[in-house]
Each structure stands twice: as structure tokens, then as C-alpha cells.
């Protein structure tokens, strides 16, 4: 049984991401910072080994101290690396990338030669540009299996789990909401409402520039999203 009193505090967003990790999976945590998520995953018994990666040496020094203090230095491997370049395929069943922009996550995933594997799970929580990330996933043959939103530190975030299935998807509504329209709760409605506002502002910009076609498409997408959360 995990010792809950000794688990690190990781916030609601990372707790949600941790709940998406498959029990017993080998995990690669990209952009691990101080390794709070890997420590939580190991100490809670979700997984037995994590490869924790960060591009900056400073956070990894703190991560090493935190891991040693938790007594699990044999369970978590630290790597200084950009993205997945220092992670081998046999070291990861589930890949977590949280706390960076959606465009950066796309750059990391697209640079990895072994990411298109049906047995892999991608657990992703972008700080921004989630629509850029979803569009890339759908266009590259990935499906978003599950997606939920969560309030954390005064903001609303999304966490998604994706897997490769070779199917190319073209659905503008899904690009902006992913799986959040399935039984939306308060956080999902808040997240989608924010996306609707952004789409309408962008549509207004197109209208002011004389681009009625793109403005109409964005307004139609916003209306579909509104209907989805009003069910």
C-alpha cells in the first residue's frame, strides 16, 4: 500500500495526468522539472520505473535531491535532454508531457522516430495552443482516447491521452475540444467556453479584414461547440 502521507504535493493538474498513466507502465516524463510527478507515480505504486527528462541542468539537480530524499533513486532515471532524444523505445510505455506549449509538444513528438506505435500512450497537458497539438495528433494518425479538464491554481487546463491508430481525422470541432464534449462537467464547460470566446474573437478579426469565408467557418465551429456543452 502506498504511504499517502509521504506523497509529494503535485497539484490537481498533475494528479489528473497521473490518473491517466497505466498501472505498471514504464513512464517517460518529458520536462520533469523537479521530478514531482515521477516521485508521485513511484511512491503511489502506479509504476515501478520512470525516465525523467529535462533540458535544463538546474531542475535536474533539484530533482536528484528530491528523488534521493524519497528513497527511490533506483526507480527513477534522470536525463538531460531536449524532448525524447535521450529516451529509448524500451524505456517508455506511457509518455507524459505537461506544462509546455502545444507547439513545443508537437515539436518534441514529431522529432521522435518511434512515437507511432500502437502500444504507446501519450499523456499530454499543454499550457497553451492545445488546438495546435490536437490538429497535429489527428493529422498524424493519433486518436484522443480520453480528455478531461481541471481547475488548478486559478486556471483551467486540459489533460489528454492519445494513441496511434493510423486513422487521419479532420474534425474542426474536435480540434478545439478533443474529448471534452463527452459528459462535460464544470471544468470542461469552462474550458470549451474559453475556446468559443477565442474562436469568436478570431472570427471578428477575419471579418474586419474582409475574410468572410474563414470568419464563417470559425463561427460555425463555435456554434457546434456551444451546442455540445448545452446538451
- Say what the pLDDT of residue 2 is: 54
The CATH code of the domain at 4-170 is 3.40.50.150
Calculate the dihedral angle through the C-alpha atoms of 14, 128, 139, 226, rounding to the nearest 10 degrees: 100
* 23 φ/ψ sector (left φ>0, alpha ψ -120 to 50, else beta): beta
Cell of 25: 507502465
- Say what the pLDDT of residue 73 is: 96
146-203 pLDDT, tens digit per residue, is: 999 999 999 999 999 999 999 999 999 999 999 999 889 999 999 999 999 999 999 9
* 33 φ/ψ sector (left φ>0, alpha ψ -120 to 50, else beta): left
Domain boundaries, the chain: 4-170, 181-231
Say how many C-beta atoms besides its own lie within 10 A of residue 206's C-beta. 17
27-57 pLDDT, tens digit per residue, is: 999 999 999 999 999 999 999 999 999 999 9
Say how many C-beta atoms besides its own lie within 10 A of residue 70's C-beta. 20
pTM for the complete prediction?
Answer: 0.93
Calculate the dihedral angle through the C-alpha atoms of 64, 69, 72, 73, rounding to the nearest 10 degrees: 30
75-124 pLDDT, tens digit per residue, is: 999 999 999 999 999 999 999 999 999 999 999 999 999 999 999 999 99
- Say what the pLDDT of residue 3 is: 53
Calculate the dihedral angle through the C-alpha atoms of 139, 140, 141, 142, rounding to the nearest 10 degrees: -100
Amino acid at each position: 500500500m502506498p504511504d499517502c502521507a509521504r506523497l509529494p504535493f503535485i497539484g490537481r493538474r498533475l494528479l489528473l495526468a497521473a490518473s491517466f498513466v497505466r498501472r505498471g507502465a514504464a513512464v517517460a516524463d518529458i520536462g520533469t522539472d523537479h521530478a514531482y510527478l515521477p516521485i508521485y507515480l513511484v511512491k503511489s505504486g502506479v509504476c515501478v520505473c520512470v525516465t525523467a527528462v529535462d533540458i535544463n541542468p538546474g531542475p535536474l539537480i533539484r530533482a536528484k535531491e528530491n528523488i534521493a530524499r524519497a528513497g527511490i533513486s533506483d526507480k527513477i532515471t534522470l536525463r538531460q535532454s531536449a524532448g525524447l532524444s535521450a529516451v529509448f523505445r524500451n524505456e517508455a510505455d506511457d509518455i507524459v508531457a505537461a506544462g509546455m506549449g502545444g507547439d513545443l509538444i508537437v515539436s518534441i513528438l514529431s522529432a521522435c522516430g518511434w512515437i507511432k506505435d500502437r502500444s504507446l500512450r501519450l499523456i499530454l497537458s499543454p499550457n497553451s495552443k492545445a488546438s495546435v497539438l490536437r490538429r497535429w495528433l489527428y493529422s498524424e494518425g493519433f486518436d484522443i482516447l480520453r480528455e478531461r479538464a481541471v481547475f488548478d491554481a486559478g486556471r483551467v487546463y486540459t489533460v489528454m491521452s492519445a494513441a496511434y491508430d493510423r486513422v487521419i481525422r479532420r474534425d474542426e470541432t474536435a480540434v478545439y475540444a478533443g474529448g471534452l464534449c463527452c459528459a462535460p462537467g464544470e471544468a470542461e464547460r469552462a474550458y470549451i467556453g474559453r475556446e468559443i470566446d477565442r474562436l469568436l474573437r478570431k472570427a471578428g478579426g477575419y471579418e474586419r479584414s474582409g475574410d468572410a469565408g474563414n470568419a464563417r467557418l470559425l463561427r460555425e465551429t463555435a456554434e457546434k461547440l456551444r451546442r455540445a456543452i448545452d446538451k
